[in-house]
Amino acid sequence: MKSSLKSIPARLRPLYRLAVKSRLNSYSPYSGHRVGAAIRTSDGSLFGGCNVENSSYGGTVCAERVAIQKAVSEGKTRVTEVLVVTDATPPWPPCGMCRQVIAEFAENAVIHTTNLKGMIETCRFEDIMPRAFTPSHLGKK
């Protein structure tokens, strides 16, 4: 399905486009669900990711975590925005494990769940993971 940009706010289009493009690289022979993600870091950099599944199932990594790990491996540890795209309706939100990883690097993060039809829902990270366990509980940051 071709993605629709019409309903995506102009400011988010680069993030959306990157997530849609990254989704094409999804390695998902087991679930058959292609997921793309894109994140923005505090310096304005964008990083894309896709889900990378594994025959052990447990070794599967979600698109959001791939994007965050790419950013961290490039020295960018402050995530301000996360956008996820699937072909699902309603759009898929980040799973629990991804929320925990976002919590590690979130900088007042905003979460956008989207699909290829251009549906988009935006919320603050705190809304989908209130009272998160974060580095601050270990006296860090």
In DSSP notation, 71-113 reads HHHTT---EEEEEEEES-SSPPPPPHHHHHHHHHHEEEEEEEE
- Sequence-separated (6 or more) residues with CB below 8 Å from residue 105: 68, 71, 72, 77, 78, 79
In whole angstroms, how close is the CB of 97 to ligand THU at the nearest point?
9
Check binding of 95 to ligand THU (CB under 6 A): yes
d(CA 47, CA 139): 28
Interface stretch with ligand THU, choices 3-11, 60-68, 71-79, 133-141 (CB under 6 A)? 60-68
Interface stretch with ligand THU, choices 4-12, 29-37, 104-112, 127-135 (CB under 6 A)? 29-37
Check binding of 35 to ligand THU (CB under 6 A): yes
Q: Among residues 53, 64, 81, 107, which one is catalytic?
A: 64
d(CA 115, CA 119): 5
Is-catalytic flag, 126? no
Check binding of 33 to ligand THU (CB under 6 A): yes
* Residue 43, both tokens: 């310096």
Where do we find the tokens 């929320």? Answer: 99
Check binding of 62 to ligand THU (CB under 6 A): yes
Residue of 3, 19, 39, 53 interacting with ligand THU (CB under 6 A): 53
Instruction: Name the residues that contact ligand THU, by CB under 6 A.
Output: 28, 31, 33, 35, 51, 53, 60, 62-64, 84, 92, 94-95, 98
Catalytic residues: 64
